[in-house]
């Protein structure tokens, strides 16, 4: 598989876990047009790689992700048509995706929390949505969050803008995240552990929905024979369920 040279991301494998890491730490990992394009490539690369069973999305530096002030306008046609391609959900990634929020998650950074399957955060992470403080509208990311956690908090974040932040304790209480990692520098270890467990669970869900798939025979057989199963791994299957 040809691995393109990413300029704004680090994409790597650690065992069965694919890592997609924002890598513009000096710009708060903000998305520019280059990053938007690279994200589409990276999600698809990891989704199609049969050795990757789960994907962890995090950021380098002190910040997770701070959005897309100008980038979305450069991709204006896609924004207007709701044809965005920078999150796992946009790219129809059906492998488990874990957002590991390593610091400030601001504005468009919330896309990656809303569109992940599992979200965890380092204890020093904070969440803030400054769109309306900059004359911008909040839409997709807050709409996604509304489905997944109590709506009042999402609306408060959207309307208070940059004048308030949510800390991890409150995010955990509301079910916006499911784990707080402390001390913060252990986040990547925590993400790995959740990744493996979640990969097993989600794999099981997929199997249930795929009666007749060879893995359904192989699983019980391997269990009975006390050996690791050998799965059939579908390459490049990205059709919407």
Interface residue list for other proteins (CB under 8 A): 69, 73, 76, 79-82, 131-140, 142-144, 146-147, 149-156, 158-161, 163-164, 173-174
Q: Shortest gap between Cβ of 189 and other proteins (angstroms)?
A: 29
Q: Shortest gap between Cβ of 158 and other proteins (angstroms)?
A: 5
Using DSSP, state whether 227 is helix, strand or coil. Answer: coil
Task: Please identify, using beta-carbon distances, which residue of 80 and 227 lies nearer to other proteins.
Answer: 80
Residues 213, 233: contact at Cβ < 8 Å? no
Task: Please identify, using beta-carbon distances, which residue of 3 and 139 lies nearer to other proteins.
Answer: 139
Contacts of 211 (CB under 8 A, 6+ apart): none
Helix or strand run (H / E) with residue 139: none
Task: Please identify, using beta-carbon distances, which residue of 2 and 82 lies nearer to other proteins.
Answer: 82
Task: Please identify, using beta-carbon distances, which residue of 58 and 153 lies nearer to other proteins.
Answer: 153
Q: Shortest gap between Cβ of 9 and other proteins (angstroms)?
A: 24
Q: Shortest gap between Cβ of 194 and other proteins (angstroms)?
A: 23
In the sheet with 166-167, reading across from the earlier edge strand, the strands are 63-65, 104-106, 126-128, 166-167
Q: CB burial class (10 A; 0-12, 13-18, 19+) of residue 136?
A: middle
């Amino acid at each position: 598989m040809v691995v393109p040279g990413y300029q704004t991301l680090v994409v790597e494998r650690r065992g069965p876990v694919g890592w997609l890491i924002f890598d513009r730490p000096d710009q708060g990992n903000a998305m520019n047009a280059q990053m938007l394009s690279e994200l589409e490539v990276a999600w698809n690369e990891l989704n199609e790689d049969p050795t990757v069973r789960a994907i962890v999305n995090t950021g380098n530096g002190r910040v997770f992700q701070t959005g897309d002030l100008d980038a979305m306008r450069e991709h204006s046609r896609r924004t207007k048509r709701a044809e965005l391609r920078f999150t796992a959900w946009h790219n129809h990634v059906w492998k488990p995706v874990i957002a590991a929020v390593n610091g400030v998650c601001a504005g468009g950074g919330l896309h990656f929390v809303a569109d992940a399957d599992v979200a965890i955060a380092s204890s020093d992470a904070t969440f803030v949505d400054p769109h309306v403080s900059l004359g911008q509208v909040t839409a997709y990311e807050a709409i996604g969050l509304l489905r997944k956690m109590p709506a009042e908090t999402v609306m408060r974040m959207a309307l208070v803008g940059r004048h308030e932040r949510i800390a991890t304790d409150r995010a955990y209480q509301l079910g916006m995240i499911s784990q707080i990692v402390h001390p913060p520098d252990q986040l990547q270890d925590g993400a790995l552990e959740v990744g493996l467990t979640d990969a097993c669970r989600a794999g099981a869900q997929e199997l249930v929905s795929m009666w007749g798939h060879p893995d359904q025979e192989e699983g019980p057989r391997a269990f009975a024979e006390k050996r690791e199963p050998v799965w059939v791994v579908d390459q490049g299957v990205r059709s919407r369920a």
